[in-house]
Every structure is written in C-alpha cells, then in structure tokens.
Structure 1
Amino acid sequence: MELLILADDLTGALDTGIQFVAAGASTRVVLDPHYDLGQVDPDVQVLVVDTESRHIAQEDAADLIRHIVRQAVELSVSCIYKKTDSALRGNVGAELGAALEASGADQLHFIPAYPKTKRTTKNGIHYIDGIPVGKSVFRNDPFNPVLSSRVANVLSEGSGLPMVSVKKEEQAGDFPGIQIYDAETDADILKRSRELQAKGKLFLLAGCAGFASVLSELMDLRSKPAETLELPGAFLMACGSVNPITREQVKEAVESGRFRYFPIPPEESLTPHWFTAEEKGQAQVREWADYLARGEKCILDTNDIPGRITAYAYAQQQGWTLEDVRHQIPVAMGEALRALLEKGVEATLMVTGGDVLMGFMREMEICEIEPVQELFTGTVLSYVRINGKKQPLISKSGGFGSPDLLLQLLEKLS
C-alpha cells in the first residue's frame, strides 16, 4: 500500500478512489472504519477507507482518524490523504487536526478546490459556482450546514491547530500547522502539487477529488489496465439525496418521459420493514421487479412529494427526530433494493446520497467495493460481489452534475 485515503462518506470515497483507478492503480474501497490496515491485499496500491464520520460527534471523528493514521505511520505508508467534502461539510477541522497530530508531521497541506465542479478557493474564501459557500445551497444543508465561507473559520470549529492561508502566487512555507492553498483551476492545483513534490511534502495531504486527480498523475502507481463491465439493459436509481442539484436532475429525467418514476411517501419510507413485511410494500416491490424485468428505467425517490406531508412533518407526528429520519430512510431503501435483487432482478443500480448507498451496503453485508470507471465528474461506476456475481453499481455525490446528468448517463450506458 503506497497511498491511504480516508473519506468521511461512501460516495466521496468512490469519487476520490476512482482518480487512481483511472491512472492504472490497483485500488480498493473498504467500508469498515476499524479495518486492520496490516491485512490489506499486498497487490493493493491505493486503499480507501470510508470512515462514515461526517455525521458523528467531532470528538469521535477525531479519535477515529487518529487511530487509522497511527496505523498508517507504523506501516510506513508513503502518503496519507484525508478526503474532504468539496463544500466543506462535516467534521473537517476535527479530522484534519487529528490527522496532523497522529502523523507526527509538522504540516498538513490542504487544497479544498475542485474546479471541474466549480468549487474554487480564492483569498482563503471557498466558492460554489462563484457563490461563497456560506451563502450557497450548502448553507441550508439539513444535516451539515456550512455557515462560513472562509476555510480557516470552518476548520477552526474543530481544530485548535495553527492555520495558514496561502494565495496562488505565494510559495508554500515552513510554518507549522494546516496549510490552506488557493486554487481556481486544475492548473493551479497541478502547479502547487509539483511544488510540494519538489519540496518532499507529499506525505500528509487533504482535499477532495480535485487534488486527488492531480496527485494520481504525480504518483507512479500504474499496475493494470482499466477493467470493463457488461451492463444489464434495465436501470434502477434509488434517490435519497436531498440536495437541490440532484432534485433538479430527477425532475428533468422524469419530465423527459424516459424513466418510470415512483415517489415513496414518508409513511412508507419511515415505516420499519415496509418493503419486506407489509403486504402493500411487497406488492410495490413486485411491480418494480416486473418493470425492470422488461428492461425499463426506474427511479425510486424518497424525497418530499409536492402537496403531501413532508418526511420531517410526518416524523414529528410520530415523535421522531431529524436524526431518526436520516437513519430510517437508508435502511428502508436498502431493504427495498435487497428485496428486488432476491427476486432475480438484473439491473444496473444507481444510488445517490452517501447515507442511502451505505444503507444498501449494510443490508447486503458488503464490505468492499472495486471502482471501475468515472462516468462523469463525481459519478462512479463500480462493482460489488453479491452471491459470487458482479453487480454493477453507480454512485453519485448529491451536489454534483448538470441538470441533464441522468439523460446523459443513459446515453453513455447504451
């Protein structure tokens, strides 16, 4: 293992790990944050660990990162990369601080920009499509709102370590602590990466898939040609992301008439075992299976239905919290997808939203994913093994992609 990547959610683990697959590196994504790094297959060059730490307490997230980084140091891993959300959501400061403390290094080098998805950093301010992140749609994220646009301010919420914001035209210095670098283009990231490489500073790094894509070019990790998968004609998307960008993608796909659309109201998605124990839920699964058996394209959507009670309002009626909603919907979708596969459905699965993807993984007891190809920025084709068979699985981070992404995806898959 030459590179260890730590990601705080599953879609992020995949869209970062795929950067190294594209360069020819033998790459694996594991779903167990307590995975013993010493047991990794010796053929694996890049190991991505999904720590599932975005939604947990800062102290717990920091402890988890310290434990993993200490293992990596003991194993003399050449490079440790802390993958962060491109909109700075989650326990970013706590995790970067913990990584730096546990590594024994003096500096951690952080490039938060991802220019391909219009995430840029200028004068220490992070932007989403030209809008300061603290004023963007991510300010209203129901689980991880980003209230400040200055990167150092976001990090200071969880780390007391010194921080230095470095402008594009400035050289990387020797100041201790977290080094935050501006970048507005891929060329900016490449220039900074080469500078860090020349100074021997590619040991402890942080960023999203933007920095990772450049790093994959600098590290000589080629070991095998890219793998291809034969994909079934049927297509099933399980949508659990509440991000407005994904909402618009679903809306455009449905209005195209090329997908069968099945909105799932909260009285179903929030009822435990609805799709496995309730007669009406089982009937829905049979209906979806019939459509997929005919090779159709289907979308299952747990988001709020216009004119109907919202998931949060329904949860309040039941005496549940927002956290209960965040937990139950992935469980319900995981059970629904399992029920479909047990009926022999053969389809290319697509899951949006890291929580729902993890719900499916846990329901199927899958602990490892092999990324295959990045179809679009942030949209990754992988495979998982279910009962000895390779199951194609497409994942997408909620905030990525153009409004017509699902229509583009159908064209590419065909």
Structure 2
Amino acid sequence: MRSRLYLDHNATTPLRAEARDAMLAAMDQCGAASSIHGDGRGMRKRLEAARQQVAALVGVQGKNVVFCASATEANNMALTLGWQRDGKPVARRMAVSAVEHASVLNGTHASDPPVLLSVGAEGAVDIAHVKAVLARWRAEGTAGLVSVMLANNETGVIQPVAEIAALVHEAGGILHCDAAQAAGKIPFFLKDIGADLLTLSSHKIGGPLGAGALVLGNDALHLPHPLIRGGGQEKGMRAGTENVPAIAGFGAAAEAAQHCFGVFGGHVLALRSELELRLRASSPDLVVFGEGRERLPNTLNFAEPGMPAETALIALDLEGISVSSGSACSSGKVKVSHVLTAMGVTPALASCALRVSLGRETTFQEIEFFIAVWTRLRKNIHDRKQGRAA
C-alpha cells in the first residue's frame, strides 16, 4: 500500500532527526531550568544552548531570544502598545497588513482597532498606504507599531519588509515581523530586514510543536507588563517553567535549518516550478496567486475555476494526498481566504484555491503522482459537470 503524500508543509513539517535526538536527551534529564542545583543547571545549559542556536538562525545574540509556547503566543506578545525603549513608550497606534496570520489580525492588544494595510493584486503590501498611515500618525504627533509578515503562509509572497521597516523607523515607530513561514526556507538576518520584533516557530522548521520565540532587535526594547506573569522566567518577559525538551528540539532544528537553504532554493524550487508548469499544461485556465511576486520556493497557491476547493481537498485526501485550501479555520471547515479577499480575488475563484507546500524531502516522483491524480480528478469533475448540463 502506498504511503500518504504530504504536501502541507506550511501547516507543519516533519520532525527532524536532530530535533528528536535533542528532545529525547532533554527528556532523560530531570530538573527545572530555574533551579540552582546541579540538575537545574544541567537543564539551564540545554536551554541556553538552544537559545544560541535559534539566535544564530536569524543573526542575533542569544540574550535577545525570548522562548514561548508558539508563534501565536509570540505574535500576541509582540502586538501590544506597552513596549518601551530605554524606559519610554514607543508606540501609541498600531497597523497590520490585511494578509497577516489570524494570530496577528486577532491578537492585537490596543484600545483602538489597528489600521489594516492594504495589499495589491499580487499580495504585496501597498507601500503608498504605509506612507499615508505613517504621515497621519506623524501629523498627530505620535508613533506606532506596524506588523508585516516576511512571507505569506497561503501565497508564499515575500513582503518588502526592509523597505517598510525603514519608513516606520523614520517615523519613530517600531516594526514587528512574523517570520514563522520564512525561517528555514529563505536566508535572512534580522538586521537585514530591519525588524524590531521577530516571530519564529519551531514546528515550521522541523522542530516540535509547542515552542516558539519572540526575537528582540536590540537590548533597549522591553515589555514591562508581559502577557504571562509569574516567576520571572525569560528575563521577566514570559513567566512559566520553560519546556526544555521542546526548546531543545527547536534549537536543534534551527541549527539544521541553516544548512538547508540550498535545498529549498535549488531542489524544492525546481520541484515547485515543475509542478506549476505541469499544472498549467493540464489546466489551461489555472490561476496562480502571487505569481508576479517573489515567493517562498516551496509554496504554490492556485485555483482551477469551477473546481471548489472543498471538493478537491476531499478527493485528494481519498487518494492519500494532503494539501490545504490555505484558509482552513480552527474548526477544520473551508472558508474563503481573507488573504485572497484582500488581494481582490472574487469569492467564486477564491473558493477554488488550493495550497500545495513542499518540504525538504519532497521528491520528483511525488510531484509526478500528484499531477497524475490531479489530471484524473479534474477530468472526472468536468465530465460530471458536462453530464449534468446535458
């Protein structure tokens, strides 16, 4: 029997062997990282080693990495107007792009709803709108926190974060960047994109579920009233006994990911290009979202007009293929993507969108299998439609 074909790596990706080994080693050791005895110091050593590994992935010092339970928590931590720089508040307004992950759109902590920054038809943030919002804040004599993801989880579109960061800093504000999808797939350092706050996820890079990080751009930033308060762990930024096994796996995955950029930039990109080419050949009406922009090398979001995503997802699943609509809500139901809606895609076309996201171990044979299944599925659906029409 053929094993399932997993092509939903933007949702989560398989655990790396290095991460599993690091987790098992940490699980075999007892102690809380805050304890001062030898067992506690042993766990602290594992924790700090992982901190350095995660820091190295984005080119920062370990002291600027704050561990938490997920990228969602990191985003919630970042999106507060309580941030201070050298003891002084740095933001009184907030703006987020309209294509952010739900944990940004629903996780903002501000008295007024944040400004939604519009995007163009290809899914990139409208720089003119960013400038207009910043100009308005300036006229009011205030500054703000702006949140723009590095790469979109649905379309893979890479955002002009460095350009936006420069504008935000010129206006006296701070920039948060959710890099959960980009980390491990494209190389970048925090200083190069200009972010003040950066979100990372463990399970998106081959680490375990249950670990994430908020990375600070410099030592001057501080959050005096964190979301989770208690014993003062993580330098008072996030209370609670650290989940060292998960964090150790996160660190090992981050270190391994540094050696995989060539795989994503070469092998995976070649597979995605072949997949896109073959899909277009079999489906002349195929629409690829964000095709005019630079995208993550592993991500393809497309729609065949007249083929509802829900129907295609079920049919592919029955064939043993796991993909996503790119817009599944927490209940598991398919709904129209807010990302495609923000891009101006019609509801009818957006309801047909599928996201195929490849992984480091995806093979050419698997792409061939997907194409064969898709071609047969497309023919069956169109034949049934023609039969009903007749």
In the superposition, the TM-score normalised over structure 1's length comes to 0.29
Greater relative contact order (Cα < 8 A, sep 6+): 2
Q: Which has the larger radius of gyration?
A: 2
